Amino acid sequence: MASIAQGLGVAAGSVTNFLGWWREELRGLVPQRVRARAASQILIVVGQDGYRVLESTGSKQRPVRGGVELSAPEAAAAAAELAKSNAAALIGIRVPLASCFVRHVELPRSAQADVARILELDLERATPFKLKDVLCAALIEDGQERAGRLKVRHMMIKRQTLEPISAELNASAVAVDFIDCWDEVSGQPLTVNFLASQQQAAAAGRKVSFTALLMGLAALLGIAAIWLADARYQTALEGIEGQVAQARTQATNVRRALDTSQAAIVEIGQLQSLKLGTTTTVELIDAVTKLLPNSVWLTDLRLENGQLDITGLAKSGAALLPLFERSPLFTDAAMASGVNFDPQENKERFSLRVRVRQAAGEAAAGNDQEKR
């Protein structure tokens, strides 16, 4: 969530910068002369001994501080004060024509749109000045066209001439919108702007910046889309992992239940097998009772480890062995000791031992074999 908020903040800042740039671009589409006429101006006029500050609205001009010539710091302070009270005013520096170096040039009429750039490229070849040391402006002479040619005044002013007032204005955080020139003879300003080339370069830079801004926004949107897709993927993956873990837990529980039930089934089977394969004591006593004749008296009956020891009195102890051999529950009948005759009971005292068949299936198998 924090990354989404940061992305939205960056996007909002980019949109704000874009709107500010677009406002400046729309303002830049209005020609300087139209803007100068439509808006009020704060003019700093360069004189021989100082600077005068004028406030111009349309065709009316009002001198500031009585129209006296001020020092550079005083003029910059007065301009800054006026700029605070009138933020929409354009701030300009006006230099006298005598401070400019002027040369007259003829150019093809087809080059009218690129006059300033052409003259700047030819500056260092045709004049002793360096382009970095001067500010230039081009003024097309009205009514001087002939045979497809233009007469142009190429005007130059040294940067150091404006350095004192420019430094003070920069220190006062006052931005200069234009620098023009006035003719002392006619008293009228010339329609030039020595900052035009710099402003055009700045506008081109803003266009490049706008392209970079669009590319940045596109990259931001792409990153946001990738981030959202990754977030959705991670969320889906976490959900699937949770479901897999839950299913795995359920499968483990089912497996344990199955193992427990299978173990119980095995135990039940073993108990059933044990029950089916073991002859109970009641069944043994009942079987012995049915096998022995009524004349036989039992004095001792002991069952231990599948061996049944029988002791008693009978008319003939040896005659009892075949009875146990034919029984499906007993086998291996034998006399455990010799037979003794008891004169008081008039019977033989016997002791025999037989083995009990442990499984009913064994007895059934024995019966099947006898039948066959």
What the chain holds in terms of domains, given with CATH numbers, is 31-194 (3.30.420), 281-371 (3.30.1360.100)
Handedness of CA 233, 239, 245, 248 (dihedral sign): negative
Digitized pLDDT (tens) for each residue of the chain, 372 residues in all: 455 556 556 566 666 666 666 665 555 555 554 554 446 888 888 888 889 898 887 777 888 887 788 898 988 898 888 888 888 889 999 998 888 888 988 888 888 888 888 888 888 888 888 988 999 988 888 765 567 788 888 989 998 888 888 888 888 888 888 998 887 777 778 888 888 877 776 666 655 566 777 788 888 888 888 888 888 888 888 889 989 999 999 999 999 999 888 888 888 877 776 665 556 777 788 888 888 888 888 888 888 888 888 898 888 878 888 888 888 888 888 888 878 888 888 888 888 888 888 654 444 444 444 444
pLDDT of residue 337: 80
Phi, psi (rounded to 5 degrees) for 182: -130, 145
pLDDT of residue 253: 92
Q: Which residues of 183-220 are buried (b: 16+ CB within 10 A; e: fewer)?
A: eeeeeebbebbbbbbeeeeeeeebeeeeeebeeeeeee
pLDDT digits (tens, 9 = 90+) for 189-222: 888 888 887 777 666 665 556 677 778 888 888 8
Is the pTM higher than 0.75? no
pLDDT of residue 57: 79
